[in-house]
Amino acid sequence: MHSRQSVRPFKLVKYFSYSSFFLILFASLTLSFIVSKGAKSLILQKSEEYALLVAKNLNHQVFLQFTLPTVAVFGRIRLREKVQFERLDRIVKNTIHGFDIEQVNIYDVKGTIAYSTNKELVGKKLTLPPEFQMAKKGNLASRLEKNKLKTYAPFRAEKALAQETTLVLGIFEITQDLSKDYKIIKNFHTTVIASSIFIMGLLFLGLTLIVKRAERIIEARAEERRRLEDRLRKTEHLANLGEMVAAVSHEIKNPLGVISSTAELLQNRKKEDETQAQLAQIILEETKRLNQTLSEFLEFARPEIPKFAPCTVTEVLDKLLSFLIPDFQSHRIEVIKEYRDNPVIEADSNLLHRAFLNIIMNAIQAMPSGGQLKVTVEAVPDNKGVVIMFTDTGSGMQEEVLENIFTPFFTTKEKGSGLGLSIVKKIIENHEGRVKIESKIGKGTRVIVFLP
């Protein structure tokens, strides 16, 4: 026997939501980081090129307009003298005018600030970075300190025709404030992140809706599969049980026939002993009841295949109700027929007779003190079938009983096989129909049969 494996449903939407959320967040942050880093690198590159242009211009202007004339007039450069300092200050400021330069320092080769646009720094010797030494060797070097880019460029002597020499007279330190540029980058960075999250959020939402719909379909199919597996297991179980019941019923039926015949012989003899006659009657009645039960077992185990032919439902019901008149009278049951239509369908009238008989017998047994049985026949519009309803005024059924009412061998009666309604369900389903039962305690029961 196969053991049922419990299958835990895979929460597709849950795992997709978590994984896609983190993937989208990671992708957005990574993209914004790459874009931001690229923008910063581009700004630094442009700023260095900008500083190089300023440095070359300063080198040319300071050397030609200050260094050469000052040496020619004063013999040497002494920036402590007010005239020389003011001349150099004027040349530097005129040169950087219109350029986005925050500060210019000119160092001597020993690292002392000989000139600065910030006069408080003149004469001071600061701790110099490695970039200063690179500039001292004739190379251009830049250093980023917070949001300020400091570019170190050699101050060289120039020959005729504006050709530079390798002689380094000092070092230019050109400071650019990149705060505005970085603010633009930051705003751009924020815009990229927000745009990415918004766009990917829309994508995430769309995918979530699609996946949620897919999950519902998958869950529905999984549930259908579970139901089919349950039905298959149940069918296999019932098939095995049916084979066993059929075999046992067959073996019991033969000796039961002998017992029944013997009881009839005893009953037909001259009734010399009244007690013997009563015992024979009891044997005969119990034999008939047992024979009926065995017949139900066999009918359940080996259901008859329907032989479809034109069938008038009302005719089947009329014959059955006429046959059961003695039962109705003995149980004080009033029968009300409400035939709203008289449809003809393709069905097996004998099997329908059995199904309806089981339904009506259950209704009779549910009204031991009498009551009312209403039989309604109504055609479905557009020639799509017929609905037959059997409504009784019996005691009704509890919810838990109603849930198991079609389960084979389930019964609440002392003398019942529990197969009557199971047989009804099989017969109706073999006609591609449906059967439904509605019941409330104290209000009675309604059996609804639909036949196509």
Q: pLDDT for 277-321, tens place per residue?
A: 666 666 666 666 666 565 555 555 555 677 878 888 888 888 888
Give the start-end residues of each E strand in 103-145. 103-107, 113-116, 141-145
Structure-model confidence comparison of residues 402 and 81, the more confident one: 81
Question: In this predicted model, what pLDDT tens digit does every residue of 325-346 receive, in sequence order?
Answer: 888 888 898 888 888 888 888 8
Mean pLDDT to the nearest integer, 395-424: 67
Does residue 3 carry a pLDDT above 60? no
DSSP 65: I
CB 168 within 8 A of CB 156: yes
Mean pLDDT to the nearest integer, 153-182: 78
Q: In what order do the strands lie in the sheet with 444-451?
A: 333-339, 371-380, 385-392, 444-451, 434-440
pTM: 0.42
- DSSP sequence for 216-252: HHHHHHHHHHHHHHHHHHHHHHHHHHHHHHHHHHHHH
Residues of the chain with CATH 3.30.450.20: 12-177
Range of weakest confidence among 51-60, 213-222, 279-288, 420-429: 279-288
- How many C-beta atoms lie closer than 10 Å to residue 330's C-beta? 9
**Ramachandran category for residue 451: left, alpha or beta (phi over 0 → left; psi -120 to 50 → alpha):** beta
**pLDDT band, very low/low/confident/very high, at 6 (cuts 50, 70, 90):** very low
Does residue 192 carry a pLDDT above 80? no
| Paired sense of beta strands 309-312 and 103-107, if any | unpaired
Question: In this predicted model, what pLDDT tens digit does every residue of 355-382 receive, in sequence order?
Answer: 888 888 888 888 888 888 988 888 888 7
Average pLDDT of the chain, as a whole number: 78
Mean pLDDT to the nearest integer, 93-119: 88
Task: Write out the two tokens for 304.
Answer: 């008859």
Query: What was the pLDDT predicted at 2?
Result: 43
Does residue 262 carry a pLDDT above 80? no
CATH no. of 12-177: 3.30.450.20
Residues of the chain with CATH 3.30.565.10: 305-451
Structure-model confidence comparison of residues 392 and 249, the more confident one: 392
Query: What was the pLDDT predicted at 14?
Result: 65
CATH no. of 305-451: 3.30.565.10
Task: Write out the two tokens for 12.
Answer: 């597709």
Q: How far apart are CA 331 and CA 89, in angstroms?
A: 128
Contacts of 430 (CB under 8 A, 6+ apart): 303, 305, 306, 351
Query: What was the pLDDT predicted at 1?
Result: 41
